[in-house]
């Protein structure tokens, strides 16, 4: 039985649609935060951890009806309320 080691190539499995949503979230972060009622929130740079063996490399966060998508394994700038949601749900 062969042992499979996760590499960057095997861990990045986002469909092009979800990768596009991650990019859109990054580009429109301030607008999305304003829609969610968090305009001007403090932001932090974080790296969402990769999960070996998981087929899920995109993290979804919903806040007040607004959807945010972040790619695992990359440094992203995230608003404090979103980071709190991820910490409370055990993603971080």
The pLDDT confidence band at residue 72, using thresholds 50, 70 and 90, is confident
Instruction: Tell me how many domains the chain contains.
Output: 1
Determine the structural domain holding residue 32 and report its residue range: 14-88
d(CA 73, CA 9): 12
Q: Is residue 47 part of a domain?
A: yes
Listing DSSP states for the chain in one string gives -PPP---HHHH----HHHHHHHHHHHHTHHHHHHHTT-TT--EEEEEPPP-TT-S--EEEEEETTEEEEEETTSEEEEEHHHHHHHHHTT--
pLDDT of residue 85: 92
Q: Is the pLDDT of residue 84 over 90?
A: yes
Q: Is residue 76 part of a domain?
A: yes
Q: Is residue 82 part of a domain?
A: yes
Over residues 14-69, the pLDDT tens digits come to 556 688 888 898 899 999 999 999 888 899 999 988 877 767 788 899 999 999 99
Q: Is residue 6 part of a domain?
A: no
Q: Is the pLDDT of residue 11 over 50?
A: no
Q: Is residue 72 part of a domain?
A: yes
pLDDT of residue 20: 84
d(CA 74, CA 70): 9
pTM: 0.75
Q: Is residue 67 part of a domain?
A: yes
Q: Is residue 35 part of a domain?
A: yes
d(CA 27, CA 45): 15
């Amino acid at each position: 039985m062969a042992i499979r080691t996760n590499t960057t190539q095997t861990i990045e499995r986002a469909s092009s649609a979800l990768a596009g949503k991650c990019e859109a979230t990054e580009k429109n972060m301030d607008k999305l935060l304003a829609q969610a009622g968090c305009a001007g929130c403090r932001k932090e740079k974080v790296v969402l951890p990769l999960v070996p063996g998981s087929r899920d490399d995109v993290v979804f966060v919903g806040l007040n009806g607004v959807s945010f998508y972040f790619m695992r394994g990359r440094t992203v700038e995230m608003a404090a309320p979103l980071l709190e949601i991820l910490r409370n749900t055990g993603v971080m």
